[in-house]
Amino acid sequence: MNPLSSGRRGRILALVGVVILFAIVIGGLLPNLVIMGLAASHVVPDPEAAPSAQVAIVLGAKVYPDGSPSPMLADRLETAVALYKQGKVRKLLLSGDHGQKTYDEVNAMLQYVLASGVPSPDVFTDHAGFSTYETMYRARDVFQVTQALVVTQRFHLARAVYTARCLGLEATGVEADLRPYFDETRFSLREWPARMKAFLELHLTKPEPTYLGPPLPIDGDGRATRG
């Protein structure tokens, strides 16, 4: 059998490359379009436009070494406090990363909302919200949430709301963009692969969270969640 000519071999390799590239593009584009498209009708621009719900879930973000929240996190907390004071929700669920003694998003969030006048019994803390997926999974299984307002920045809301709704929560996203953020473009770009990962977790791998634990119903006393 005659070996393939170099020209024919080159055309075959080029075709294979095009097929692979096409698969990569479709594999990345489709989950993003699905997530953004399905979540779009479940997002509102501010607290006043939000429906009533059991709880506002506040997703964690960077905390500085002195314990103060970054601007993005502060705006999420301000938005959640506004939802509580407007009577849109009865409880707040503050979910973030407290996986190390030297880094604690959750207690920084707690101190912020308590200082803003939210009563301690109405504030639940989730110290194992290591990702959006884990936060929503634990909201459902540990805190027994069925209906929630999800509070985060616009660039993150589609993934957060889609994740919550795929896990069975009746979720509406509330935008927490109270100012410009210098690193928002970088975070927006990171959302593309993050949405791909979320799509795989929700529809294929379906991992359990790092930690679950006994039920702590959101209709109870939030002080039981301190730690």
Q: Rounded to two decimals, what is the model's pTM? A: 0.88
- Residue 94 pairs in a beta bridge with 58, 125
Plot region of 115 (φ>0 → left; ψ -120 to 50 → alpha; else → beta): alpha
The single residue listed with the structure tokens 């407007």 is 86
Q: Name the residue among 60, 56, 126, 42 with its Cα closest to residue 85.
A: 56
The whole-angstrom separation of Cα 56 and Cα 82 is 10
pLDDT tens per residue across all 227 residues of the chain: 455 566 666 666 555 554 454 445 555 688 899 999 999 999 999 999 999 999 999 999 999 999 999 999 999 999 999 999 999 999 999 999 987 778 899 999 999 999 999 999 999 999 999 999 999 999 999 999 999 999 999 999 999 999 999 999 999 999 999 999 988 889 899 999 999 999 999 999 999 999 999 999 999 999 999 97
For the record, the structure tokens of 1 come out as: 């059998």
Domains delineated in the chain: 38-225 (3.40.50.620)
Cβ contact 147:139 at 8 Å:
no
Nearest to 128 by CA among 21, 220, 196, 212: 212
Cα separation, 50 vs 115, in Å, equals 24
